Amino acid sequence: MSELEGIYAVWLREAKIYIREKERLISAVISPLLWIFGFGGGLGSSVQSMSGYPYQTFIYPGIMVMTVLFTSLFYGVYIIWDRKLDFLKEVLVAPVSRASVFAGKMLGGATDAMVQVVYLIIIGFFISIPFTPLVIIEAFLMLLLISIAMVSIGLVIGANLKSPEGFSLIINFVMWPMFFFSGALFPVSNLGPWLSAITFINPLTYGVDAMRGIILNINHFPIMLDVAALALFAAMMIGLGVASFKRM
């Protein structure tokens, strides 16, 4: 009971701050717009249709995953600021377990990402993505799972570092390879042996595959494999995250 209230308290603080920081809200709307219309629209005008869909539609699930990836991973930097500015001490000295503190922060980060997902779904209607209510629910849940996994990576890195600059450096090394070798921008079916090996160990590949399956019905792996791979990865990251928070 009190642990639940602790999780709620940590999450509530994150949610309130997210709503109050206008810059964060605005960039949350703008960056996916840029990707869909700038990248998808721009490149789409010169690229042939892929797997029977216009390029903009083909990469839409990938852009969803990417948006969730970026927001979720970078969320970890706030833990560093919190520690630097001592906001976190109040929480660390409270009679609430570190697992709950981690859970609250993780849900806070996932909330940030899922707010963006809602924008993206709205945009999706405008560019005629084939949505049904079931597709929307499935996509939402899948992205939530991806977000939980990625927020956890960010929090693990954030909890183990002292400087925001160091965080950005490391997160870029994690983020871009994950993104490029996930199949978000191109299908993973016809890559060379090297690239496909990297793709297969990249947890995000399974997220992108699942999303493409849910929204466009193009699957490379069985959807249950996608879900299982991501859930396993998320569980590992949560474990690491709780351990890192305990050492804080």
Partner 1 sequence: MTIKTEALTKKFGKITAVNELNLEVEEGEIFGLLGPNGAGKTTLISMLCTILKPTSGRAWVNGFDIVKEPGKVRKSIGIVFQQASVDDLLTGRENLALHNLLFEVPKAIRKQRINEVLAIVNLEKRADDFVNTYSGGMRRRLELARGIMHHPKILFLDEPTLGLDPQTREHIWDYIKELAQKECMTVLLTTHYMEEAEQLCDRVAIIDYGKIAALDSPDALKSRVAGDVVTIKQRIPDIESIKKLDYVMKAEDKDGLLYISIKDAGKHLQDLLSNSGPIDFVEVRRGTLNDVFLHYTGREIREAEAEGGFWERMMKR
**Residue closer to partner 1 (CB basis): 166 or 187:** 166
Q: Could you say which of 35, 57, 82, 181 contacts partner 1 (CB under 8 A)?
A: 82
CA distance 157 to 239: 13
Tell me the residue type at 36: I
Element (DSSP H or E) covering residue 199: helix 193-201
Residue pair 223/210 in contact (Cβ under 8 Å)? The answer is yes
* DSSP-based three-state secondary structure for 50: strand
Closest of 80, 72, 101, 96 to residue 243, by C-alpha: 101
**Residue closer to partner 1 (CB basis): 17 or 114:** 17
Q: Does 2 sit near partner 1 (CB under 8 A)?
A: yes
Tokens found for residue 187 = 């299908």
Give me the residues paired with residue 53 across strands. Answer: 50
Q: Does 108 sit near partner 1 (CB under 8 A)?
A: no
Q: Does 165 sit near partner 1 (CB under 8 A)?
A: no
Q: Could you say which of 22, 48, 86, 192 contacts partner 1 (CB under 8 A)?
A: 86
Give me the residues paired with residue 50 across strands. Answer: 53
Q: How far is the CB of 77 from partner 1 (least distance, A)?
A: 9
CA atoms within 13 A on the CB side of 210: 24
**Residue closer to partner 1 (CB basis): 5 or 141:** 5
Q: How far is the CB of 62 from partner 1 (least distance, A)?
A: 30
Residue pair 161/167 in contact (Cβ under 8 Å)? The answer is yes
Q: Does 90 sit near partner 1 (CB under 8 A)?
A: yes
Binding-site size, partner 1 (CB under 8 A)? 28
**Residue 22: how many other CB atoms lie within 10 Å:** 8
Report CA 81 to chain centroid distance, whole Å. Answer: 20
Closest of 210, 29, 183, 57 to residue 120, by C-alpha: 29
Q: Could you say which of 78, 102, 181, 233 contacts partner 1 (CB under 8 A)?
A: 78
Q: Does 125 sit near partner 1 (CB under 8 A)?
A: no
Name the one range near partner 1 by CB under 8 A: 60-68, 83-91, 132-140, 185-193: 83-91
Closest of 143, 40, 28 to residue 74, by C-alpha: 28
Considering only residues 3-22, where is the footprint of partner 1 by CB under 8 A?
Answer: 5-6, 8-10, 12-13, 16-17, 20-21
Q: Does 92 sit near partner 1 (CB under 8 A)?
A: yes
Q: Could you say which of 22, 46, 48, 95 contacts partner 1 (CB under 8 A)?
A: 95
Q: Could you say which of 22, 85, 126, 193 contacts partner 1 (CB under 8 A)?
A: 85
What does the binding site for partner 1 look like in residue numbers (CB under 8 A)?
Answer: 2, 5-6, 8-10, 12-13, 16-17, 20-21, 78, 81-82, 85-97
